[in-house]
Structure 1
Amino acid sequence: MDLGSRVDTLMDGLRADLERLTAIPSVAFPGFPPEPVHQAHDLLVELLRDAGVTRIDRLDLPDTSPIIVAEVPPPTPDAPTVLLYGHYDVQPPGDESLWLSPPFEPTPIEGGLRARGVADDKSNIVVHLGVLRAYEGRPPVGLKIVLEGQEEFGSAFDDYPPTDPDRFACDAMVIADMGNIRPGSPTLTTGLRGASEVVVEVRTLAEPRHSGEFGGAAPDALLVLIKALATLHDVHGDIAVEGLRREEWTGTTYTEEEFRSLAGVRDGVPLIGSGSLGERLWSGPAITVVGIDAPSVDHAASAVVPYARAKLNLRFHPRQDPKEAQGILIAHLGSLRPFGVTLSVTAGDTGPGFEPATGGPAYRAARTALREGWGTEPELVASGGSIPLVNGLQKAVPDAEVLLFGAQDSMCNLHAPNERVLFSELRSAVVAEAAFLREYAEAFRAGATS
């Protein structure tokens, strides 16, 4: 029986297990009960054991949900070891009135399943389970399986791998927390933008003052802030901060119609910026005002505003140093004197981007495997999001090739209402990952004997 046919016989069971897993509200954010997170952990341990994995450990770190670290020994001394990653925690459901069905009641849809976390990232964990079942627990490579329970909120695990490199030692990693640019288009993610936060603050008066008596001369803090923020972009909407890296994007990207639909851009509203969407979204910077403190319209008084503050989210090129990128933005804001007023600028959290090497045997094996899984040539894209743990794993195992692919797709509504996964993508991802292990094992042995 060929690999695709073997996976087809497993699909009913994989769908059932995905439903069981997504029915658990495993939100690891503060204010949510921890019991469902532990319930999801225990279910996955059970499923791994049922799939033939006997070496299963639990890693406990301070203020961090439990991490599953399992292992399947290599079948022969000359076989490589592959690390499979996923996370079993999910985003909060948000406004449940926007969901077409309760977020933690897995609901069949045409060709798939709707639930919170079904795409991000429980479908990808089920892909790993499917691969184990396809090989009856005896894959052609050694496996290290890492399933964490607090990826969405962040935890001590992000920085842990370099402190315990032997636990994560491998020849290649499959970071299954990504997916395809569109359904049916197998996709390898070859870059993740870095992220940083900066807060800019303005204080001009001791307290509000009557706008009729004092407006026109008294410095309005909100006007000062608006004038400062307006310097961040040029007339086209491109970043106007010198020193933030931007390069041409040569991989696949969305069509404008796809992007407008995905972003929910209203009819008649233009996109901002110039150049390709790949440059604007992946190989160039973005600065977003994600929060602003100012009087609300509904409760506004006729007064000059004495205080205003904004939080900025900066996304930057995968190869730009995070401290450098954040420092460039801070220096730009710090150099401004809108109406002669000095701004207070404070650095927030920052995290690096990631750009894996793509010329090794694991990447060649992955391209072949994705072609087998989906029946078409794989695309290369990047992501504006970030996965902090990837950098920690790369530091722990610097020589390992890192592959980012999975069963999600860009239209799956991850982090949004009505998240869904398509069973066609799930099936193809299981075939592709299983084929990757086969192809990589063969390439690894051939390289070792040549």
Structure 2
Amino acid sequence: MASSPSSLPDPVDAAVVDAVRNGIPAALGDLGDLVRIPGIAWPAFDQDELVRSAEAVAALAAGTGVFDSVRVVRAAIPGTDEVGQPAVLATRAAKNGRPTILLYAHHDVQPPGDDALWETPPFEPTVRDGRLYGRGAADDKAGVMAHIAALRAVSEAIGDDFDLGVALFIEGEEEYGSRSFGQFLSDNRDALRADAIVVADSGNWDSETPGLTVSLRGAVRFTLTVRTLDHASHSGMFGGAVPDSMMATIRLLDTLWDENGAVAVDGLLVRDAETPEYGEETLRDEAGLLPGVSPIGDGSILSRIWNKPTVTVTGIDATSVERASNTLAPQTSVVLSCRIAPGQDPQEAYDALQRHLRTNAPFGAEVTFSDEDLGSPFLVDTSGWAVELARAAMTDGYGKAPVDLGVGGSIPFIADLVETFPAAQILVTGVEDPHTRAHSPNESLHLDTFRNAVATEALLLARMNARTL
């Protein structure tokens, strides 16, 4: 942790930082226990593990001793007969005119992927070179434990009868699209109502420098299907005269980018905003770019990541190499994952992508669209008192002033939070650093970053407890 007890002149701050330091070993032990639970919301995986994960988080919340109520709750998925995955909701009422803060994280994790690509088992937490490895060790079980550890520290430093109101919402299906999120907010609006909301699901500038996320790209994801034949045909008998669907798909996909790899779709917007210095060497190190492979796009590197659209092919239905035959394929489907600039409406972006693909379909190929999933981008209002408190807490918790970050990824449910609680100030924080490899094999948490993140949140809570609205 960057700050020593004597470095903070306020006695409450010093006591909080001391409590954080003393509580880190237990917090990391509890985090390891959570990592061992493979709670994955995708239906192909054992859903009992997700229930076990929610129950474990609820027990940790109850164990802090600060909440009036701790429940495992589900909400309906609108438009279906299903209910969403189990979330944890814990609340305590504010007293004596103090504000209420809502702390969000999620306990579900991504599937591990290919186990052979992991250096250690994905659900066996392993410490190596100052990092904790395991699926969910960072995204986002570390976010869960940052909340729990910060609450423990505040309770120890100033007593569990503090005046700050706290709502803890630990979602169980963020990695699977937050399908019941909006309904959950509606069902529990009064319990979740807050003056400030901390979304602990983002990252930092580096392992030593905190980041406050002030912009997020939106997301447009859909399946594109290209058809050229009503049945498969012999590639030798008809090849050269008949366009197969794979050929048409490749030609069509190539129109989405210009010769530099920048997106070339009319109607997808670019945000004009300054970005910090960030060179190609840093990009290569953090992204794992192979020697000889050039970056794509134009403009500053961070503008490409934070403020410009992307189109990525994340899945394809086609004959595998193992099963390849001399056949003209009648139909090919691909999943396109697109990120859109802050400020763009996701429906407008989806419409622009559809127009482009229909207009550029080669050889008269038939194109159809399905399984669309749209998420809004987000820009933080940085003028509020909670943002000021958060920046000061980061400076003291890390020993370095925070950097305002844009993030290339998306957290679409933030738009639901803003719609439901328009007066609340949104603080997007996190425990990740550029080498976390969230969603990838060998995901890990930098231990010093975690310690500093817990100190930051504990200081924020203590200082909000001293604030009267």
TM-score (norm 1): 0.92
**Cα shift readout 1:360-406 (whole Å, capped 9, x = no counterpart):** 11111111110011111101112222223322222111110100112
How many residue pairs align between the two structures? 444
Partner of 1:109: 128
Checking the alignment, whether the CA contact within 8 Å between 1:314 and 1:326 is kept in structure 2 is no
Checking the alignment, whether the CA contact within 8 Å between 1:198 and 1:330 is kept in structure 2 is no
Residue 139 of structure 1, CA deviation: 4.5
Residue 265 of structure 1, CA deviation: 1.8
- Structure 1 residues 200 and 96, CA gap change in structure 2 (3 angstroms): closer
- Partners of 2:60 and 2:371 lie apart in 1 by 43
- Structure 1 residues 308 and 113, CA gap change in structure 2 (3 angstroms): closer
Partner of 2:52: 39
Bigger shift: residues 375-384 or 194-203: 194-203
Bigger shift: residues 330-339 or 229-238: 330-339
Residue 117 of structure 1, CA deviation: 0.8
Checking the alignment, whether the CA contact within 8 Å between 2:58 and 2:71 is kept in structure 1 is no
- The letter for the 1-side match of 2:54 is H
Partner of 1:384: 408
- Structure 1 residues 114 and 341, CA gap change in structure 2 (3 angstroms): closer
- The letter for the 2-side match of 1:56 is V
Residue 48 of structure 1, CA deviation: 2.0
Residue 289 of structure 1, CA deviation: 1.7
- Partners of 1:306 and 1:362 lie apart in 2 by 56
Alignment equivalent of 2:290, drawn from 266, 270, 273: 266
- Partners of 2:285 and 2:371 lie apart in 1 by 34
**Cα shift readout 1:275-319 (whole Å, capped 9, x = no counterpart):** 112221121100112223344445444454433333221110122
Partner of 1:55: 69
Matches within 5 A, 1:146-165: 146-160=169-183, 161-165=185-189
Alignment equivalent of 1:367, drawn from 388, 391, 407: 391
Matches within 5 A, 1:137-216: 137-139=160-162, 141-160=164-183, 161-216=185-240
Alignment equivalent of 2:90, drawn from 70, 82, 92: 70
Matches within 5 A, 1:336-347: 336-346=360-370
- Partners of 1:20 and 1:96 lie apart in 2 by 20
Checking the alignment, whether the CA contact within 8 Å between 1:157 and 1:389 is kept in structure 2 is no
Residue 412 of structure 1, CA deviation: 1.2
Checking the alignment, whether the CA contact within 8 Å between 1:251 and 1:380 is kept in structure 2 is no
- Structure 1 residues 268 and 151, CA gap change in structure 2 (3 angstroms): same
- Partners of 1:235 and 1:323 lie apart in 2 by 27
- The letter for the 2-side match of 1:204 is T
**Cα shift readout 1:237-295 (whole Å, capped 9, x = no counterpart):** 11111111112342346432232233222110111111112221121100112223344
Checking the alignment, whether the CA contact within 8 Å between 1:336 and 1:342 is kept in structure 2 is no
- Partners of 2:435 and 2:266 lie apart in 1 by 34
Checking the alignment, whether the CA contact within 8 Å between 1:334 and 1:345 is kept in structure 2 is no
Checking the alignment, whether the CA contact within 8 Å between 2:41 and 2:172 is kept in structure 1 is yes
Checking the alignment, whether the CA contact within 8 Å between 1:330 and 1:347 is kept in structure 2 is no
Partner of 1:126: 145
- Partners of 2:93 and 2:412 lie apart in 1 by 27
SS in 2 for 1:308: strand
- Structure 1 residues 361 and 344, CA gap change in structure 2 (3 angstroms): same
- The letter for the 2-side match of 1:65 is Q
- The letter for the 2-side match of 1:58 is V
- The letter for the 2-side match of 1:410 is P
Partner of 2:3: none
Bigger shift: residues 20-29 or 322-331: 20-29
- Partners of 2:99 and 2:440 lie apart in 1 by 38
Given the alignment of the two structures, is residue 318 of structure 1 paired with residue 342 of structure 2, yes or no? yes
SS in 2 for 1:57: strand
Given the alignment of the two structures, is residue 439 of structure 1 paired with residue 466 of structure 2, yes or no? no
- Partners of 2:361 and 2:448 lie apart in 1 by 56
SS in 1 for 2:181: helix
- Structure 1 residues 381 and 211, CA gap change in structure 2 (3 angstroms): same
Residue 206 of structure 1, CA deviation: 3.4
- The letter for the 1-side match of 2:75 is L
Q: Which runs of 5+ in 2 are unaligned?
A: 1-10, 77-82
SS in 2 for 1:405: strand
- Partners of 1:342 and 1:290 lie apart in 2 by 21
- Partners of 2:34 and 2:321 lie apart in 1 by 44
SS in 2 for 1:89: coil
- The letter for the 2-side match of 1:117 is G
SS in 1 for 2:84: coil
Residue 49 of structure 1, CA deviation: 2.2
SS in 2 for 1:119: coil
Checking the alignment, whether the CA contact within 8 Å between 2:91 and 2:191 is kept in structure 1 is no
- Structure 1 residues 346 and 103, CA gap change in structure 2 (3 angstroms): closer
Checking the alignment, whether the CA contact within 8 Å between 2:120 and 2:126 is kept in structure 1 is yes
Checking the alignment, whether the CA contact within 8 Å between 1:75 and 1:138 is kept in structure 2 is no
- Structure 1 residues 426 and 232, CA gap change in structure 2 (3 angstroms): same
SS in 1 for 2:225: strand
SS in 2 for 1:134: helix
- Partners of 2:366 and 2:449 lie apart in 1 by 53
Partner of 1:83: 102
TM-score (norm 2): 0.88
- The letter for the 2-side match of 1:80 is P
- Structure 1 residues 341 and 51, CA gap change in structure 2 (3 angstroms): closer
- Partners of 2:215 and 2:139 lie apart in 1 by 18
SS in 2 for 1:7: helix
- The letter for the 2-side match of 1:69 is L
Partner of 1:411: 435
- Partners of 2:367 and 2:47 lie apart in 1 by 41
Bigger shift: residues 248-257 or 415-424: 248-257
Bigger shift: residues 409-418 or 370-379: 409-418
- Partners of 1:102 and 1:301 lie apart in 2 by 37
- Partners of 1:105 and 1:175 lie apart in 2 by 26
Partner of 2:37: 24
Alignment equivalent of 2:351, drawn from 295, 319, 327: 327
- The letter for the 2-side match of 1:187 is G
